[in-house]
Amino acid sequence: MKACIHAEYGPPSVLSVREVEKPVPADGQLLIKVHASTVNRTDCAMLRAKPFVMRFVCGFWRPKKQTLGTDFAGEVEAVGNDVTRFKVGNRIFGFNDSGLCSHAQYLVVSADNFMATIPDGISYEQAAASIEGAHYAQNFINKVQIGAGDRVLVNGASGAIGSAALQLLKSEGIYVTAVCNTKNLDLIRSLGADRVIDYLREDFTQDQEVYDFVFDAVGKSSFGKCKRILKPGGSYISSELGWMAQNLFFALTTPWLARRKVVFPVPLRVQESVDLVRGLLAGGKLKPVIDRSYPLDAVTEAFTYVETGQKTGNVILLQQP
Ligand SMILES: NC(=O)c1ccc[n+]([C@@H]2O[C@H](COP(=O)([O-])OP(=O)(O)OC[C@H]3O[C@@H](n4cnc5c(N)ncnc54)[C@H](OP(=O)(O)O)[C@@H]3O)[C@@H](O)[C@H]2O)c1
């Protein structure tokens, strides 16, 4: 089978697609024929081992897992002994940000990993595009007390996390102001935003409205700049640590010292995210945004594009010819 390999950390040029042995499922494992996976920002961080802390997770000197990929959509081709959760032929999708090695034509995965069956009518590409962003979005949003009628601003609403956050918030009846580039205004309106701010024309931190929650899904702002658009008691979350890891520091201090607080969530509830996504997909309430799809052989181009930080929604890798 073909797999994308990186034996060292570095830019996308260290990746190569090679013939490797097809894995065999052990007891309690599934063999999955991967049809689609995403190339996402977590994969990019693992590829370069940046930030440095990634080395403590992925291997200090060189990558412990030489194949990247944190999500997949595919078909169960074989099952090991003791597997009852899924059967051969099931269409399933799954996610694990510690790495599933899914940038390959086949993978083996423990049957108790974070997975679910793909709803009828949803393609492999759509299924692959639906999990990673939604998982982070859900695990950030659920750390804040908000409900129907509350007002939320999402910056970076055109990214994988932002486009999922917008839809998850709308499914809860929340009023959402979404910030994006001119070219994505129509897309973001079509995903349900109540109001859209074009960041090329307007600085959202100078907005006249105030919000219960400001979610910077691309980590381009700061708590200092967003304070003036937060209501007293409001919360700020960024997907990035910020300058000098300030969001971590503020998350420890603002709940005690300030009227507006920073939350820095650790996104741990993965199976809940997968189940939520499955339900929303089945009910037509989540439309995964797909920017481009690349064949496995073009994995270097896919990473080069994702590293620009300008993809719209998700970039898909197609594993089967
Ligand atoms: N904390 C965690 O656990 C965690 C986990 C995963 C990812 N992350 C981080 O979360 C961030 C977002 O991830 P993602 O996958 O959603 O990113 P992404 O899909 O790569 O985001 C790209 C989008 O951001 C938009 N964008 C770029 N600059 C912007 C700006 N100044 N203002 C508003 N929008 C802007 C781009 O739109 P235009 O180019 O059209 O402007 C593009 O659509 C990344 O920084 C990633 O490292 C954090």
Structural domain boundaries in the chain: 2-130+288-318, 133-262
Closest residue by Cα to atom 36, ligand 1, is 310
- The closest alpha carbon to 271, from 148, 53, 111, 157, belongs to 111
* Residue count (the chain): 321
Domains 2-130+288-318 and 133-262 share a fold: no
Condensed to tens digits (0 to 9), the pLDDT of residues 60-98 reads 999 999 999 999 999 999 999 999 999 999 999 999 999
Determine whether the shortest distance from the Cβ of 139 to ligand 1 is under 6 A. Answer: no
210 three-class SS: coil
Q: What's the rounded Cα separation, in Å, for the pair 274 and 290?
A: 18
The label of the residue with tokens 């996610």 reads 95
Residues 221-230: pLDDT tens digits? 999 999 999 9
User: Tokens standing for 146?
Assistant: 């908000």
pLDDT at 257 over 90: no
Q: Which two tokens stand for residue 28?
A: 């309690």
Ligand 1 within 6 A of 153 CB? no
Fold of 133-262: Rossmann fold (3.40.50)
Full-model pTM: 0.97
Distance CA 203, CA 98 (A): 36
Q: Is 37 helix (H, G, I), strand (E, B) or coil?
A: strand
Q: 2-130+288-318, what's its fold?
A: Quinone Oxidoreductase; Chain A, domain 1 (3.90.180)
Tell me the percentage of the chain whose pLDDT exceeds 70. 100
- Whether the CB-CB separation of 109 and 30 falls below 8 Å is answered with yes
Query: What integer best gives the mean pLDDT of the chain?
Result: 97
Q: Which two tokens stand for residue 198?
A: 């074009």
159 pocket-lining for ligand 1 (C-beta < 6 Å): yes
Query: Would you tell me how many other CB atoms lie within 10 Å of the CB of residue 172?
Result: 14
Task: Region of 226 please: left (phi>0), alpha (psi -120 to 50) or beta.
Answer: alpha
Give yes or no for residue 219 CB within 6 A of ligand 1. yes
User: Which of 132, 237, 239 to probe ligand 1 with, by most ligand atoms within 8 A of CB?
Assistant: 239
Q: What's the alpha-carbon Rg for the chain, to the nearest Å? A: 20
| Interval 115-123 mean pLDDT | 98
